[in-house]
Amino acid sequence: MIGTWINVGAILVGSTTGLLSGRRIPGQMGRFVTAVIGLVTLVVGVKLAIGTCNLLVLLLSLLIGGAVGTWLSIEVKLTRLGEVFERLFPRFATGSVPQGFVTASLLFCVGPMAILGALRDGLYGDWQLLGLKAVLDGVSSMILAAGLGPGVFFSALVVLVYQGGISLVARAFSGPAAVSTLSHSPALTELDAVGGAILIALALKLLDLCDLKVGNLLPALALAPLMAFLFSLVGS
Nearest to 189 by CA among 62, 46, 51: 51
Q: How confident is the model at residue 119 (pLDDT cuts 50, 70, 90)?
A: confident
**Torsion angle of C-alpha atoms 163, 165, 166, 171, degrees rounded to 10:** 130
Least confident window among 87-91, 98-102, 184-188, 204-208:
87-91
Q: Is the pLDDT of residue 42 over 70?
A: yes
Predicted pLDDT at 10 = 92
SS3 assignment for 113-142: HHHHHHHHHHHHCCCHHHHHHHHHHHHHHH
Instruction: Kindly state the average pLDDT of the residues 187-199.
Output: 83
* Torsion angle in degrees (nearest 10) through CA of 193, 195, 197, 198: 170
CA-based radius of gyration for the chain: 18
pLDDT at residue number 56: 92
Predicted confidence (pLDDT) per residue in 129-169, tens digit = 788 788 878 888 888 888 777 888 888 988 998 898 888 88
Mean pLDDT, residues 165-185 taken together: 66
230 has a pLDDT exceeding 80 = yes
Rounded Cα gap, residues 92 and 99, in angstroms: 14
Q: In this model, does residue 176 exceed pLDDT 60?
A: no
69 pLDDT higher than 60: yes
The pLDDT of residue 151: 82
What is the pLDDT, as a whole number, of residue 63?
Answer: 94
Share of the chain above pLDDT 70, in %: 83
Mean of per-residue pLDDT scores for the chain:
80
Q: Is the pLDDT of residue 181 over 80?
A: no
What span, in angstroms and rounded, lies between the C-alpha atoms of 189 and 201?
Answer: 19
What pLDDT is attached to residue 71? 93
Q: Is the pLDDT of residue 86 over 90?
A: no
Considering the chain, what percentage of its residues have pLDDT values greater than 90?
12
Going by pLDDT thresholds of 50, 70 and 90, the confidence category of residue 9 is very high
pLDDT of 184 higher than 70: no
Q: What does the DSSP assignment read for 4-51?
A: HHHHHHHHHHHHHHHHHHHTTS-HHHHHHHHHHHHHHHHHHHHHHHTT
pTM value is: 0.72
